[in-house]
Amino acid sequence: MNNRYRLLMVVFLSISTLLFLPGCGGGDTPANAPRTIRFWHFWSEPGQKAVLQELVSEFEKAHNAKVELTELSWNDGKVKLQAAFNSGAPPDVIELGSDWVAQFSSSGVLLALPGDANALGRFVPYSVAPAMWQGRTFAYPWTLDTRVIYVNTKLAQSSGWNAPISTMDDLIAAAEKVNESGSNGWGANGADAHRLYKKILPFMWTYGGDVLNTNGRPVLNSPENVKALTTYAQLARAGFVETQRQLDAAFLQGKIALWNSGSWLSSKIRSNTALKVTPILMPGLTGEPGTSFAGGEYLAVSASTKNTQISRDLVLFLTKGMNAVRFCAKIPEAGFPAEKGYYADSALIADPIKAVFAQQLEHARMTPVHPRWLDLEAVLEDAVVRVLLGESTPEEALNMAQQEALQIVGG
């Protein structure tokens, strides 16, 4: 056997060995086996999980994938997400509240998704900013919701108030009229962490104020914000101060005439035939709608995922307008799709209460995008509480909050 023949035999045997090696272990994943990804979400109620599973099952069939669903709670879900990232074993796809995205994207744990702000043009404009960090996209908006003013018309009319409420002055006058008759004109959130800011921001925005200016600098003690906090305190004196949960319950019991709350109350209002309620838009200053708070759910992909494409595909699938319509139609508390042209879908606004929420989305905003928003939020809430307790005037409380906010953002 000459050297050339020996060389050819060695090459042949080597190739043959490589070709047969994959079958030797007997436990390797076939090339066409479903790819498995993990998705952590916050839809933990049985009915909610069933709706999400229905959509996910469609995705699995269409993409030859397996999605392992894990539900989180709002009480400790964020802590669990942070622990998962810190341990190096995060899920592939995660749901984040709109206020959380900047904190996660700025820390480098999220995967950049295709597209810039222009590419996100299919979404409601104010939902785009939270998805971005330093010009790159790290999440896609999924669902949105807002707050409106619920009016207990029976209670308001029994106090002698029969006029429309179309301005901020009308709102104050109506609340005080009800209060003068011996009932609660308004329900004001007090020390209620992560909820109180959602109640004061609409007043700040409607009066022309804000938390940060366009350069990212705090402007908490502006004259507009002082006026907004003064109004909120005035309304509080025309009713009573409690937590969101307690005020929701009191309104459903017919104990509050005017209450700023969310769409999760709509089904309970409909089922209570003794309660006569009309939802109205947040009033502005001169007859135009005011600006309400909007929150949203976002979907992001872990930067450490080993399944980049299929994870991105799941995000795209769930945020697609028609799929989000199906999701929100079956889970009313989910709100509305974040994609433009779908939040006013007939499947959602056939309910007259939901229709008002859809209108309010046209006049709503989200919180400023800042990685330390939760700290800024706490400063603002503390200022409101000090005023409600009578410990400070609105101007004093916001001057103090301004100094605290400057320390948070630097400078």
Whether residues 169 and 232 share a domain: the answer is: yes
Tally of helices (H runs) and strands (E runs) in the chain: 16, 14
Rounded to whole angstroms, the Cα distance separating 170 from 167 reads 5
pLDDT, one tens digit per residue, over 32-88 is: 778 999 999 999 999 999 999 999 999 999 999 999 999 999 889 999 999 999 999
Whether residues 159 and 307 share a domain: the answer is: no
Question: Is 22 a member of any domain?
Answer: no
Question: Is 23 a member of any domain?
Answer: no
Integer angstrom CA distances of residue 50 from 34, 300, 382 = 22, 21, 39
Whether residues 190 and 328 share a domain: the answer is: no
**336 three-state secondary structure:** strand
> In this prediction, what percent of the chain has a pLDDT beyond 70?
92
Question: Is 91 a member of any domain?
Answer: yes
- SS3 of 284-307: ECCCCECCEEEEEEEEEEECCCCC
What is the torsion angle, in degrees rounded to the nearest 10, for the CA atoms of residue 200, residue 342, residue 266 and residue 382? -20
Answer whether 0.85 is exceeded by the pTM. Answer: yes
Whether residues 384 and 245 share a domain: the answer is: yes
The domain boundary, picked from 344, 365, 386, lies at 365
Whether residues 245 and 345 share a domain: the answer is: no
Count how many domains the chain has.
Answer: 2
Rounded to whole angstroms, the Cα distance separating 187 from 248 reads 9
pLDDT, one tens digit per residue, over 331-366 is: 989 999 999 989 999 999 999 999 999 999 999 999
Hey, what amino acid is at 234?
A: Q
Question: Is 9 a member of any domain?
Answer: no
Whether residues 45 and 97 share a domain: the answer is: yes
CATH number of the domain where residue 321 is located:
3.40.190.10
Asked if residues 283 and 149 have their Cβ atoms less than 8 Å apart, the reply is yes
Question: Is 19 a member of any domain?
Answer: no
pLDDT at 137: 96
Rounded to whole angstroms, the Cα distance separating 368 from 99 reads 8
Q: Helical H runs in 21-152?
A: 46-63, 77-87, 101-106
The partner residues of 304 in beta bridges, in order of sequence, read none
Question: Is 208 a member of any domain?
Answer: yes
Nearest to 256 by CA among 179, 362, 167: 179
Whether residues 57 and 139 share a domain: the answer is: yes
Rounded to whole angstroms, the Cα distance separating 37 from 403 reads 45
Average pLDDT of the segment spanning 210-228:
97
Measured CA angle at 244 (ends 240, 249), to 5 deg: 80
Rounded to whole angstroms, the Cα distance separating 219 from 401 reads 10
Whether residues 340 and 203 share a domain: the answer is: no
Cα 50 vs. chain centroid, distance in angstroms?
21
Q: Is the pLDDT of residue 140 over 60?
A: yes
pLDDT at 311: 98
Question: Is 29 a member of any domain?
Answer: no
pLDDT band at 91 (very low <50, low <70, confident <90, very high): very high
pLDDT at 30: 61
Which range of residues forms the domain containing residue 75?
Answer: 35-145+295-365
Whether residues 140 and 162 share a domain: the answer is: no
Rounded to whole angstroms, the Cα distance separating 340 from 309 reads 25
Backbone angles phi, psi at 257, to 5 degrees: -85, -40
Q: Is the pLDDT of residue 221 over 60?
A: yes
Least confident among 111-125, 277-291, 298-312: 111-125
Exposure of 10 by Cβ count < 10 A (0-12 exposed, 13-18 middle, 19+ buried)?
exposed
pLDDT band at 160 (very low <50, low <70, confident <90, very high): very high
Whether residues 182 and 249 share a domain: the answer is: yes
Whether residues 242 and 304 share a domain: the answer is: no
Rounded to whole angstroms, the Cα distance separating 404 from 211 reads 12
Whether residues 121 and 132 share a domain: the answer is: yes
Question: Is 4 a member of any domain?
Answer: no
